[in-house]
Amino acid sequence: MNNKANDSGNFPEEHIESGARIDAARRAPAHCLYCSNPADGWEHGLTEGVGGRLAAYILCRRHNGSMNAAVDQRFNANFAPLVNMLQIRRQRGTTGAEFVATDDAGKPVVILDKGFAKQQRMDVQKRDADGKILYAEGDLDHLDKLPAGALSPNGRNLVIAKISNPSANFVVGVDETITPAILKIALHFFASFVDDVPLNVATELLRTISGELAADGKIVRTPYLHADVFADSWPARHELTAYPDGDHTLVTVLLFTAYAFTVRLPVSMKGRGGVRYTQVLTENFPRFETEVPRPAALDWNDRPGIHDSAKYYAPIKERIKRIYDHGTEQAIRARCKRAYETAMTASSKYGDIWERYRMQLQLECFEAAEVRQIVGIGQRLSREGKAPWEIPVVNEEAPEPAVTRESRSGAARSRKTGPLHRPGAPRGGAPNTGGPAGL
């Protein structure tokens, strides 16, 4: 991991080279992009909330604040499930992103930044004639604090407690509500690292960024995910590239390696070659290149409408599925780890470590067959000197990209064979690729 080298102060070579190129390219405009006030605060064109780490002084304090409120917060919230699934470590040191999903009954479920559902309050399901608790489900910590008198003496086990991991459904929307943020990202990248933008051009574009004008296909489009323009990668990355296009500039925006946009800005690169910012989502530093050649396949007139829709969505689905698989795996491992650590600290009078682990896994709501599998794999991993919770997880089905923002369908169901074929919480992840711009 590069993180380790970076944290200890030994920067990897590519960071030193990129850092020098960033310093050489970073603009220091005399005033804010949108007004005549001094530019006096760091602006992350690609937000820190999704893992962006490249910033420049291009906005005044007022416009920095209004941009955050009007554009960045919605953008970050939209992509929070992916930030969570990839456990993206952000510049301020936090990892993942808490967000609210819904369970199958439509009730809100908070997904914690560690990637598993927040423990719900205790839910008393049965009481005896005296009003004492016969059966309840809920947070073990909460049950521990119950006064002994609250429990019915007639309950079979007094209280059957389990930590609930409710299934969760959520949608990542890529539609006209996101395109103003994409325009902002492209424009701020240009203004930060390519060239100054005339004030009248920036203020006109601000009308679209702020939502006053619709972001139609004249400015932002969602092209086919062509491998020559939007190369595949794992770990996933964000990538912004500005290419000269006559008296315009084409900025390609790739988010999470899966979501591709092209933005056509009415500003010239004045003979310079392509400029690229790459943020590998497992790295603590931005990569930066200049003189990036324009790929032949980059075509502003490439629109979703000219493609067969199955062909258009196929590469997007494939790349989203990989993120989903990764998210499922880390969510299941987080629950196994939690169970194992609790088992390690439990008193030895409750059997050996594997018996206690089995019991804790049951409390994590794994099914009996899964518990047997997880313990079996854990014992093998332990013999190999590995962490017992680092189990392989395979999803057999991926969520279908939903077509509308409202859709909560597309939650994955999976069969159980092989290592551990099961989606855990957060589940569903119907990443929405619908409503492509520029049709």
Q: Which of 5, 35, 77, 365 binds Zn ion (CB under 5 A)?
A: 35
For Zn ion, give the closer residue by CB, 34 or 366: 34
Q: How far apart are the first and last CA of the chain?
A: 41
What's the min distance (Å) between Cβ of 188 and Zn ion?
13
**70: DSSP letter:** I
| Cβ-based neighbour number of residue 140 at 10 Å | 16
Select the span of 24-32, 177-185, 281-289, 406-414 touching Zn ion (CB under 5 A): 24-32
The residue number whose beta carbon is nearest to Zn ion equals: 32
For Zn ion, give the closer residue by CB, 37 or 404: 37
* Contact between 57 and Zn ion per CB under 5 A: no
* Contact between 356 and Zn ion per CB under 5 A: no
235 preceded by a cis bond (ω within 30 of 0): yes
Q: Which of 44, 63, 276, 421 binds Zn ion (CB under 5 A)?
A: 63
Select the span of 55-63, 77-85, 243-251, 266-274 touching Zn ion (CB under 5 A): 55-63
For Zn ion, give the closer residue by CB, 32 or 163: 32
CB 276 within 8 A of CB 292: yes
- Return the structure tokens found at 166: 């409710």
With CA atoms as reference, report the closest residue to 70 among 211, 243, 247. Answer: 211
CB 164 within 8 A of CB 107: no
Select the span of 27-35, 43-51, 84-92, 111-119 touching Zn ion (CB under 5 A): 27-35
What's the min distance (Å) between Cβ of 190 and Zn ion?
17
At CA 315, angle to CA 306 and CA 248, rounded to 5?
55
| Binding residues with Zn ion: total (CB under 5 A) | 6
Q: Which residues contact 10 (CB under 8 A, 6 or more apart)?
A: none
What's the min distance (Å) between Cβ of 253 and Zn ion?
23
For Zn ion, give the closer residue by CB, 40 or 141: 40
What's the min distance (Å) between Cβ of 66 and Zn ion?
9
* CA separation for the pair 305, 438 (Å, rounded): 8
CB 7 within 8 A of CB 284: yes
* Contact between 209 and Zn ion per CB under 5 A: no
Q: How many residues does the chain have?
A: 439
Q: Which of 22, 34, 88, 251 binds Zn ion (CB under 5 A)?
A: 34
CB 123 within 8 A of CB 163: no
Select the span of 25-33, 165-173, 252-260, 272-280 touching Zn ion (CB under 5 A): 25-33
What's the min distance (Å) between Cβ of 200 and Zn ion?
14
Show the binding pattern over residues 255-294: x = contacts Zn ion (CB under 5 A), - = does not: ----------------------------------------
Only one residue has tokens 């619908």, namely: 434
For Zn ion, give the closer residue by CB, 38 or 273: 38
Q: Which of 32, 133, 181, 186 binds Zn ion (CB under 5 A)?
A: 32
Q: CA dihedral in degrees (398, 401, 406, 409; nearest 10)?
A: -30
* Contact between 60 and Zn ion per CB under 5 A: yes
345: three-class secondary structure by DSSP: helix
Q: Express the helix, strand and coil content of the chain in percent, nearest 5 each.
A: 35, 20, 50
Q: CA dihedral in degrees (419, 422, 426, 430; nearest 10)?
A: 120
Residues of this chain that bind Zn ion (CB under 5 A) = 32, 34-35, 37, 60, 63
